[in-house]
Amino acid sequence: MMTKESYQSICEKISPYIHRTPVMTSQLINDIAGCEVFFKCENFQKMGAFKMRGATNAILNLSEEQRSKGVVTHSSGNFAQAISLAARSLGVTAYIVMPSSAPQVKIDAVKGYGGIVSICPPILKDREKSAQAIQEEKGATFLHPSNDDDVIRGQGTAAIELFEEAPKLDAVFTPVGGGGLLGGTALAASLFAPNCKVFAGEPEEADDAYRSFKSGNIETNDTANTIADGLKTQLGDRNFPIIQKHVNDIFLVSEDDILEALKLIWTRMKIVVEPSSAVAFAALLKNKSAFNNQKVGVIISGGNIDLNNLPF
């Protein structure tokens, strides 16, 4: 059972290893959205995404014996980098299973942060099998990118900082893929801002969280043809109950909606964010009539974009 005090202790524990990222505003954005928008800019986080928070909290909660044997995860992107950097900061070995389809720039980034990379076929069962083999060989502890209690709670610290700097928010938006950020944000809001409604944006081309939220069962996608590549994962049994209990709604956005929101952030805010980050803002813009004159937080999840493959 989480309390405000236990959550505050998580914030204090991870603070030496992460950045307290800025909250940014724009009058022009406010005029376009019809409300006051407060962007929590996790694109300025260490390794460029909110996932540094959950990775750090998860490793800090391991025993000394567990840390001595290392950690392992499978990821093609931000969580791979987050675990690698967090592990290096804490003197822990990180084994990272990455699919062969992962961009070389991301593989190089993980190696640069000290992760020991294993390449496997780009199929989930192969990723899981490879990670399991490392667990058995090395005795390493597996950390899931989004379906792990310590990871979820760590991700929620971004929202706690947002509530501190922008009090009395009427609503907060996040993107949703695997559900770690949304689950953590919803949990944090229930404790620190109980009057703040929680919403998520999700691509129409990868709408499993939306369908799960409506059906009450975890759904999957057969295909996920979206530029928001960080949102192609699915909810898990640890974060879904939190989302069911504390999230007000999930909104779908088109690929054009995502691009429009992405361009607005790049050109008006003058900050670099990745397409997945723009999904939350796109959801707000698409439903702005429901938030007229309100104070709305938007968590910018990350800024790790491939400059050789811009979506514009």
Torsion of CA 176, 177, 180, 185, to 10 degrees: 0
| Euclidean distance between CA atoms 156 and 192, whole angstroms | 11
In CATH terms, are 4-50+149-309 and 52-142 the same topology?
A: yes
- For helices 78-89 and 51-60, give the axis angle rounded to 10 degrees: 40
Q: Report the pLDDT value the prediction gives residue 101, as an integer from 0 to 100.
A: 81
In percent, the amount of the chain with pLDDT more than 70 equals 100
Bridge-based pairing state of the strands 36-41 and 23-24: antiparallel
Using one digit for the tens of pLDDT, what is the confidence trace for 170-221? 999 999 999 999 999 999 999 999 999 999 999 999 999 999 999 999 999 8
SS3 185: helix
Distance CA(77)–CA(46), nearest Å, equals: 14
pLDDT-derived band at 295 (thresholds 50, 70, 90) equals very high
Confidence of residue 39 (pLDDT cuts 50, 70, 90): very high
Considering the four listed CATH numbers 2.40.160.20, 3.30.43.10, 3.40.50.1100, 1.10.620.20, the one that applies to the domain covering 52-142 is: 3.40.50.1100
The class that CATH gives domain 4-50+149-309 is alpha beta
What confidence category does residue 224 fall into, taking pLDDT thresholds of 50, 70 and 90?
Answer: confident
pLDDT band at 312 (very low <50, low <70, confident <90, very high): confident
- pLDDT, residue 307, reads 80
Domain residue extents for the chain: 4-50+149-309, 52-142
**Tokens coding 3:** 């309390």
Quick check: 243 pLDDT over 90? yes
Average pLDDT of the chain, as a whole number? 95
Predicted local distance difference test score (pLDDT) of residue 215: 97
95-145 pLDDT, tens per residue? 999 988 887 888 999 999 999 999 999 887 888 999 999 999 999 999 999
By C-alpha distance, which of 182, 297, 300, 161 is closest to 243? 182
